[in-house]
Amino acid sequence: MISYTDTGAIPGITAAGVNREFIKYTPAADTEFLYYGFCKCINNVPITPEGNPTPAIITRAALRLADIPFLVVDAGSKIKPSIPYISFGIDPGHNIESGRAVDATDVKMAFEYGSILGKQLGKSCDLLVLGESIPGGTTTTLGVLHALGIDAKYKVSSSMQTNPHRLKNNIVKHGIQKSRIAFGELRNKPLEAVACLGDPMMPSVAGISEGVLSVGGKVLLAGGTQMAAVLGILKSLGLKMKEVCIGTSVYVTDDHSSNLAGLINSISTEVPVFAADLRMEKSIIRGLEAFARGFVKDGVGAGGASIAAMLKSNGRINGSMLLKTIEEEYEGVLHGKSH
Amino acid sequence: MISYTDTGAIPGITAAGVNREFIKYTPAADTEFLYYGFCKCINNVPITPEGNPTPAIITRAALRLADIPFLVVDAGSKIKPSIPYISFGIDPGHNIESGRAVDATDVKMAFEYGSILGKQLGKSCDLLVLGESIPGGTTTTLGVLHALGIDAKYKVSSSMQTNPHRLKNNIVKHGIQKSRIAFGELRNKPLEAVACLGDPMMPSVAGISEGVLSVGGKVLLAGGTQMAAVLGILKSLGLKMKEVCIGTSVYVTDDHSSNLAGLINSISTEVPVFAADLRMEKSIIRGLEAFARGFVKDGVGAGGASIAAMLKSNGRINGSMLLKTIEEEYEGVLHGKSH
């Protein structure tokens, strides 16, 4: 799922993109990398200012290792990728400081199209793994959870080593002032909450999840604290959570600057959180070892795809094997597969 | 797979659309009907000038009866449907009388994107059923098969009761004069053949088929004589045909104004043609009974979807059961589910 919110372009909010100009290319570039091993819309693989690569490197390694098929959904990305993708036909999201984050008709359509797609995919696989690439997604999560009556302050994660909680809290505060939504005021109107303080990814992933669950399927929400927003929406809609789980990396669950488990627990005690240990601290490649030092951590469904690879292979694929393949992907990027 | 060629707007070439203005809406409307049971881009379900409904009624009945998931691919349709769809990002095709039917870069991209998608879908199902909705598709088939060195004159089918062979032959003749492609000249360059005398559906469906076959999957090409063009491309590319079959309705295979079996046989003797008997001659609804009198015949994967429903249900779903459900769909359309 690739998406965009102007919130992600606020300076200091995300590590996605070397500079602000690149942020809007990151989701498209991530999905091109998944299919091709290089990017088409930009010259290099997305990388943070510190030189740490996109988590799509992990995702690609996991999907290839376990031969897992995948499709890409565009739900309001600003730059369209040069791949076949499923279009939801919606616009990018606005800066949530405006209090009008996503057009209400787009929120509705995203959920409805998601539901249709989820029904088809739910009939076609045992477990649907849903990942995302939307820079700024933890800040919009903070906003939506406020409207739904879930306190996520200082609990959301960050793609940066130093979590800019105060900046995020301030952005959300501005959005609340503009939209005049009190804490929990929209606890029964999750799509309105998204329209005020969310982003286009949320109703899209929530819709797909609803569709999968409605045909008896299972969902793994592959991501860090952003997926708390999706879970909050599903709960608000009264959906049964028995067949839903969260999958991420240990770099999110071990992070002391956020609290994924606490956050998920405050939404539903039924939903387990699984974390893949990718042994990044052992990597000889500094850009990968950085994940273990709190950079990037997860994204593009990296942790969830790693778990799916372990599940599909009945454990034959483990963290060490994944790390080796991730390092190979990284070497491939360095040695000109990326051009 | 929805697509468009200006060839389909030549007067007298197709039964799709009450008038020329509507022809470009037909593919989008067909797929909206599949998901919703009514259309969004037009007020009514697509219907021929004689009052015969789109074969999408059959497709929808078959898919629902057997609970078969489906996705829609847009490969150059002129009107985009209000559904989630997979975009190949290519333009509609031109009138083949120009000898420049599809932009060469679009042909290449359609095949490549198709191949990527086919690999994902081939890993996700036992049998991929590929249908199409492209008005004018039998005329472009005639054109492409000329370039590939397969004589399809008087063999291609028609959505009309009286097959306009002379008109089709004349259109192709003009295209050949403009492109200066001799019979069989592009037998080893199928994508060039499409660029000169084909349509955007062909490289897209051929690409998906190639992708499915490359991961060990099976393909059912759901359609009448248009699928001969796809088969011609696959053969020209040197692909093994062992896991490919054609699926249509008996109204195509019994048609005396065309020769599907003969045409397929002249391309490959390995590829079986299956035809679903939908008992339409027994229908009390005149618009459906008309199928047995040579109107419409097949399209939107109707015959192939019916076969898939029979296969998936191990024969529990048969022609009589399908006819009953098709009649119910038709009644639903009449009684205001369509608005």
At B17 the pLDDT is: 62
d(CA A293, CA A319): 17
Facing A124 at nearest CB: one of B73, B89, B125? B125
Instruction: List, for chain A, all residue ranges whose pLDDT scores fall below the cut of 70.
Output: 16-18, 336-339
In this predicted model, what pLDDT tens digit does every residue of B201-257 receive, in sequence order?
A: 999 999 999 999 999 999 999 999 999 999 999 999 999 999 999 999 999 999 999
Q: Are B35 and A89 in contact (CB < 8 Å)?
A: no
Q: Are A86 and B84 in contact (CB < 8 Å)?
A: yes
In this predicted model, what pLDDT tens digit does every residue of A293-330 receive, in sequence order?
A: 999 999 999 999 999 999 999 999 999 999 999 999 99
Q: Which amino acid is at A256?
A: H
Phi, psi (rounded to 5 degrees) for A137: -65, -25
Q: In the A/B pair of chains, how many CB contacts fall below 8 A?
A: 65
- Residue B339's pLDDT band (cuts 50, 70, 90): very low
pTM: 0.96
d(CA B198, CA B96): 7
At B48 the pLDDT is: 76
pLDDT at B337 over 60: no
At A17 the pLDDT is: 61
Which chain B residue is nearest to residue A71, measuring alpha carbons? B120
Q: Are B119 and A69 in contact (CB < 8 Å)?
A: yes
What are the residues of chain B with a beta carbon less than 8 Å away from any beta carbon of chain A? 35, 67-71, 73-74, 80, 82-89, 113-114, 116-117, 119-125
Q: Are B86 and A86 in contact (CB < 8 Å)?
A: yes
3-state secondary structure chain A: CECCEHHHHCCCCCCCCCCHHHHCCHHHHHHHHHHHCCCCCCCCCCECCCCCECCHHHHHHHHHHCCCCCCCEECCCCCCCCCCEEECCCCCECCHHHCCCCCHHHHHHHHHHHHHHHHHHHCCCCCEEEECECCCHHHHHHHHHHHHCCCCCCCCCCCCCCCCHHHHHHHHHHHHHHHCCCCCCCCCCHHHHHHHHCCCHHHHHHHHHHHHHHCCCCEEEECCCHHHHHHHHHHHCCCCCCCEEEEEEHHHHCCCCCCHHHHHHHHCCCCCEEEECCCHHHCCCHHHHHHHHCCCCCCCCHHHHHHHHHHHCCCCCCHHHHHHHHHHHHHHHHHHHCC
Facing B84 at nearest CB: one of A68, A80, A88? A88
At B97 the pLDDT is: 98
At A15 the pLDDT is: 77
